[in-house]
Amino acid sequence: MKRVLLCLACLMFSDLAYAEVFDPQVTDVCTPVPTPGHPGRLSPRSVIGLLLKNQGIADVDIDTTGADVSYAEKADAVISGPEFCSRAGAHCGKNAKTQLDVAQEILVAYLQRHTVPVSPGTSGYQFTFAVTTANVRDFLLSPNSKLVPTCVAANTEAGTPAPKAPVNTSRIPGRLIVRKNIGDLPIAQNDPAFKGLQQASLSVSNNEILPSTTYNVQGVIGYGFGQSPIGSGAVGEIIPFVAYTGQFVDGANPNKVTNVNNIGPGVTGDLLFPALGVFPLTRGMYNDVQGTVQEVHSYVSATDILSAKLTYTPYFDPTVLPGVGTTALVGDYLLMLMPQGVFISGDVLDNGSNPNLNKSGTYQRLGTHVAFSASAVTGILNGFSFNASYDYLRSYGGPISNIDLFTSTISYTMPQQDFWSVQLQFQDGRNLDTLVKQKLLTLGIGAKY
């Protein structure tokens, strides 16, 4: 039974209903079709028309009375999904609810997929707005919406047609992910929150007076399958991963730095779903639930721990509460405060020589993770970032009841990229898996991908 949790996690999102990728080309949805030096404008009408055609949804499915169905009604039907057919006076066909549910999911996935900036030398377009119900409605139905993107064409030799933007035809998109924390794995590179994430870190400190070298490594590598619609407007992803935390001293150790050598394979499932409209702060936004199962082994104390973790992340409407759950630009700085609720249920398989854990048995921990980031995106400090996070867990079961960890990082990211940085990091508190006390100040390099 102790390892059943790991098997359950592998099945958490095994029923993902992956839909065929909807990805119309520039020539299909832009008016006029852009040429080098002469951009066009994306046509929302063309997007809705192609989407309905792609899903086999006809006017009679939306209105069985045979009345003409306007573009506004078609767009409203896709935006609203199955709720459109639940309205008083609706005349949907018998399969329309299911059809519109899938169409709504495909539209959201399409908009999210095109939030990536257009690569130099290629044709394309980019949606620069947060995919909320209000923004999607504005994009599709407002005649002079500022959210409609510009279409650009690749610069090519005279007389040579511009190449089409590449199409991802995979039914199960995959991505390699490198982060510092497991909880950051679902955040994609095109998400504005990516800039504020902490990097996986490597540092080496050499002491010439008392000959010694201190090594520190902390990070997680995963591979995500999905970010695909799974029903009712939700998007799911499953990510197997391996986490590693290492800290050891080669030579003299006058400061009694604690040796750490932990490896933790596991799997996390992420579910992004529409928030309940009854809460004004989250209306039109999405919430996130992440379920993680991990087994951690300490080579230092021969400790083995199996745990299941549930993390809830609310995303707030930036027009009501800017900078909380979403990024906010203040002067030269991109700011974000990210609160999360955390519940952990674990089993100490073997405590080895670790006095901070019971010899065996289960435990539960309830608490929060709060992270703040400030990244300079313009000005003389462009490239510098400050991150601070605080974890607090109340433990039920085990000799330690209150567990906390404070982490702060100052980093500088090289120009023209978001992946590598030089960073100074301070940590004070307990390792959240093995509960070993740690107090570290390290200078090294960081990476996230």
pLDDT band at residue 154 using 50, 70 and 90 as cut-offs: confident
- Which amino acid type is present at position 273? F
311 Cβ contact list (under 8 Å, min separation 6)? 183, 289, 290, 291, 292, 340, 341, 342, 369
Instruction: Read off the tokens for 92.
Output: 């949907």
Whether 166 shows a pLDDT value over 50: the answer reads: no
- CA–CA distance, 68 with 73 (Å, rounded to integer): 10
Whether 356 shows a pLDDT value over 80: the answer reads: no
Whether 397 shows a pLDDT value over 80: the answer reads: no
Rounded mean pLDDT of 48-67?
A: 90
Residue with tokens 């490597």: 202
Please, what sign has the CA dihedral across residues 415, 315, 242, 406?
positive
Residue 91 DSSP one-character state: B
pLDDT band at residue 5 using 50, 70 and 90 as cut-offs: very low
What is the pLDDT at residue 162?
Answer: 36
Greater confidence, 372 or 425? 372
- CA–CA distance, 213 with 195 (Å, rounded to integer): 31
Whether 199 shows a pLDDT value over 60: the answer reads: no
Best mean pLDDT range from 240-249, 350-359, 416-425, 439-448: 240-249
> Which of 13-17, 90-94, 190-194 is least confident?
13-17
Whether 125 shows a pLDDT value over 80: the answer reads: yes
Whether 358 shows a pLDDT value over 70: the answer reads: no
Greater confidence, 446 or 45? 45
What is the pLDDT at residue 298?
Answer: 83
Whether 228 shows a pLDDT value over 70: the answer reads: no
Whether 130 shows a pLDDT value over 80: the answer reads: no
- Which amino acid type is present at position 22? F
Whether 159 shows a pLDDT value over 60: the answer reads: no
Rounded mean pLDDT of 122-150?
A: 85
Greater confidence, 129 or 343? 343
Pick from 152, 161, 191, 156: which is nearest to 42 by CA?
152
Instruction: Read off the tokens for 159.
Output: 């007389």
- CA–CA distance, 127 with 160 (Å, rounded to integer): 27
Rounded mean pLDDT of 237-247?
A: 84
Evaluate whether 273 touches 232 at the Cβ level (below 8 Å). Answer: yes
pLDDT band at residue 19 using 50, 70 and 90 as cut-offs: very low
Whether 345 shows a pLDDT value over 50: the answer reads: yes
- Which amino acid type is present at position 238? I
Instruction: Read off the tokens for 432.
Output: 């959240």
**Farthest-apart Cα atoms in the chain, separation:** 88
Q: Residue 420: helix, strand or coil by DSSP?
A: strand
Considering the four listed CATH numbers 3.30.365, 2.40.160, 3.10.350, 2.30.29, the one that applies to the domain covering 171-447 is 2.40.160
Tens of pLDDT, residue by residue over 254-307, are 555 567 778 889 998 888 777 665 556 665 566 788 899 988 888 877 888 888
Percent over 70 (pLDDT), the chain: 73
Whether 420 shows a pLDDT value over 70: the answer reads: no
What is the pLDDT at residue 412?
Answer: 84
What is the pLDDT at residue 30?
Answer: 92
Comma-separated ranges of CATH 2.40.160 domains in the chain: 171-447
Decide: residue 83, CB within 10 A, 0-12 exposed, 13-18 middle, 19+ buried.
middle
> Which of 181-185, 194-198, 375-379 is least confident?
194-198
Q: Residue 218: helix, strand or coil by DSSP?
A: strand
What is the pLDDT at residue 3?
Answer: 42
Tell me whether strands 200-207 and 420-430 are parallel, antiparallel or unpaired: unpaired
Evaluate whether 163 touches 123 at the Cβ level (below 8 Å). Answer: yes
Q: At what angle do helices 71-80 and 44-54 cross, to 10 degrees?
A: 70
What is the pLDDT at residue 233?
Answer: 64
Evaluate whether 112 touches 99 at the Cβ level (below 8 Å). Answer: no
Evaluate whether 32 touches 40 at the Cβ level (below 8 Å). Answer: yes
Residue 183 DSSP one-character state: G
Residue with tokens 């800290």: 247
Instruction: Read off the tokens for 106.
Output: 């495909």
> Which of 11-20, 71-80, 176-185 is least confident?
11-20
Pick from 235, 231, 383, 220: which is nearest to 315 by CA?
235
Query: Which contiguous run of DSSP H or E holds residue 107?
Result: helix 96-113
Whether 2 shows a pLDDT value over 50: the answer reads: no
CA distances from 73 to 43, 64, 65, 134, 437 (A): 16, 14, 14, 16, 60
Best mean pLDDT range from 2-16, 110-124, 315-329, 330-344: 330-344
Evaluate whether 193 touches 241 at the Cβ level (below 8 Å). Answer: no
For the chain, the average pLDDT equals 76
Pick from 396, 409, 397: which is nearest to 366 by CA?
396
Q: DSSP letters along 348-396, please? A: EEE-TT-TTS-SSEEEEEEEEEEEEEEEE-SSTTTTEEEEEEEEEEEEE
Pick from 373, 425, 381: which is nearest to 195 by CA?
373
Rounded mean pLDDT of 345-352?
A: 83
pLDDT band at residue 231 using 50, 70 and 90 as cut-offs: low
- CA–CA distance, 129 with 38 (Å, rounded to integer): 23
